[in-house]
Amino acid sequence: MGKLLTCVGLALLLHVQLGSSYILSCYFTNWGQYRPGAGKYFPTAIDPCLCDHLIYAFASMDNNMIKSYEWDDEKLYKEFAALKNQNGDLKTLLAIGGWNFGTPKFTAMVASAGNRQIFIKSVIKFLRQYEFDGLDIDWEYPGSRGSPPADKARYTVLCQELMAAFEAEGKQTNRPRLMLTAAVSAGKATIVAGYEIAKIGPILDYFHVMTYDFHGSWEHILGENSPLYRGPSDQGPLIYFNMDYAMNYWKSQGAPAEKLLVGFPTYGHTFALSSRTLTAVGDKNNGPGPAGQYTRQAGFWAYYEICTFLKQGATQAWDVPQMVPYAFNTQTWVGYDNIKSFNIKIDWLKKSGFGGAMVWSLDLDDFSGTFCGQGKYPLINTIKTGLGTGGSGCKARTQPLAPVTPTQHPSWHPSPQPHTQPQPQPHTQPQPKPSGGGGGSSGGGSSSGGSGFCASKAGGLYPDPTDKNAYYNCAQGRTYKENCAASLVFDTSCTCCNWP
């Protein structure tokens, strides 16, 4: 009995020393910098004590090698890594992919052992160069959106080879092993098509399950972005479109519960009402709601933009079956999350035995504390408090990181415009991601140097008169032709990609 009490006492002491057993991972988006005014977001705005893991979204890929995406990524990498000087326990990861990145480059990379090795070597070099602690694979999605069925097994092989290489490199260099995580779908059909769950379960460090974007204006009815449970209007495959089903499906198929991080969105999806009287979940909608002042994307509002909507007198309602709020005025409806719904989801998460939470994203919460009257990062701090993450506070590193030396940037840079517009999801099933759609890219782009369309124009975005899907990004007289995501058109009223 004495030995038992000693063991219990040691276990409790160890738990106190280690802090919470839960993990809170938060995504940073490298296009938040292009938002206007109070919506602009850089790594320097991040509270280094807020999250256990920070994930930088997104990196790109060319010729099977990882590469930066934005013109100033290397500067932002430096600011991101410097956060670890203020919190010695903080881990930073780099996410590659995203919704707008699509599938072709992933498919080409995993197609052969040679291509995979080129990728893996480039990843290790890149992560170490910029002081990241791991890689987050954000392939949306293997086996879907043009990715062939064979990619399901190849995804497993990629994970196996990445982890083997990370372990070998850690031993060779006597450094902590690089982490390997993945952002994964919460839609059942996409999960079935894309992941050998029982095989990748033991490999990945964590699964960032994108339990949001379950409903949006790509559907014809009003629906919640991230419902905890099934709603009365959910029929057919829609019965799977909720947090509870998605997370338990991952667990039932062989993903260790302690590795499953539940996706918490700090944004909502908006709809135009088809009638002032049709305001219930499941009622017909009339397409996306208006773009927000800062996020500038139709059908999508950051939490801080929703707070403004509420302060302007919108009617607030509680969706009892799905345990999330919604709000509306005479024209616009939004399904979202608030502190109450987050607390309910946190209690459910703990009772379900999952490993923690993932947030999309830092820049969509009220990071400045000026919009909602609930302090800085009210939603993310709700998770931190509820899960007890972050221990008793964070401590500075004893050995500061060596400075990262960026390579030379070109002398020009794009004007601060929202050239990165997430693509709306397909109509048939949710393709969560780390949304606001996830992505970092509006499509393809090409440059014509210091001549052509932009030669005599001020910096900014301009419509292409010959192609509604395309637009010109002018920067210091240089012409960059870019495309909106599929099905969207360039809208001069918001200077953004929008629904037709």
Pairing status of strand 489-491 against strand 496-498: antiparallel
Specify whether the CB–CB gap between 179 and 156 falls below 8 A.
no
If one counts every other C-beta atom within 10 angstroms of the C-beta of residue 399, the result is: 7
pTM: 0.81
Task: State the pLDDT at residue 457.
Answer: 77
- Taking alpha carbons only, the member of 29, 24, 26 closest to residue 436 is 29
The encoded tokens of residue 214 equal 């379950």
Q: Are 100 and 138 in contact (CB under 8 A)?
A: no
d(CA 208, CA 255): 12
Beta strand segments in 38-124, E: 53-62, 65-67, 91-97
CA atoms of 252 and 244, how far apart (whole Å): 12
Q: Please, what is the Cα angle at 140 between 254 and 489, to 5 degrees?
A: 155
What residues does 472 pair with on adjacent strands? 462, 481
* Whole-number Å distance between alpha carbons of 405 and 384: 33
**Tens-level pLDDT at each residue, the chain (500 residues):** 444 443 433 333 333 334 569 999 999 999 999 999 999 999 999 999 999 999 999 999 999 999 999 999 999 999 999 999 999 999 999 999 999 999 999 999 999 999 999 999 999 999 999 999 999 999 999 999 999 999 999 999 999 999 999 999 999 999 999 999 999 999 999 999 999 999 999 999 999 999 999 999 999 999 999 999 999 989 999 999 999 999 999 999 999 999 999 999 999 999 999 999 999 999 999 999 999 999 999 999 999 999 999 999 999 999 999 999 999 999 999 999 999 999 999 999 999 999 999 999 999 999 999 999 999 999 999 999 999 997 656 777 666 555 544 433 332 233 233 333 333 333 233 333 333 333 333 233 333 444 477 777 776 678 888 888 888 776 556 676 776 765 567 777 666 666 66
> Would you kindly state where each structural domain of the chain is located, as residue ranges?
20-265+337-387, 445-498
Type of residue numbered 322: Q
Cα separation, 458 vs 280, in Å, equals 46
**151-173 and 113-129 helices cross at what angle (nearest 10)?**
50
Query: Order of strands, edge to edge, in the sheet holding 478-483?
Result: 445-447, 478-483, 467-475, 460-464
Locate all alpha helices (DSSP H) within 174-279, ordered by sequence: 188-194, 197-200, 243-252
DSSP per-residue string spanning 371-409:
SSSS-SSHHHHHHHHHHTTTTT-----SSPPPPP-PPPP
**What one-character-per-residue DSSP string does 187-207 give?**
-HHHHHHH--HHHHTTT-SEE
Other C-beta atoms closer than 10 Å to the C-beta of 282 total 15
**Class of the CATH-defined domain 20-265+337-387:** alpha beta
Length, in residues, of the chain: 500
**Of residues 61, 64, 156, the one with CA closest to residue 114:** 64
Q: Cβ neighbours of residue 487 under 8 Å, at least 6 residues apart? A: 423, 424, 499, 500
The residues carrying an active-site annotation are 140
Q: How far is CA 260 from its chain centroid?
A: 15
Tell me: domain 445-498, CATH 1.10.569.10, correct? no
User: Which among 80, 77, 95, 93 is positioned nearest to 48, based on CA atoms?
Assistant: 80
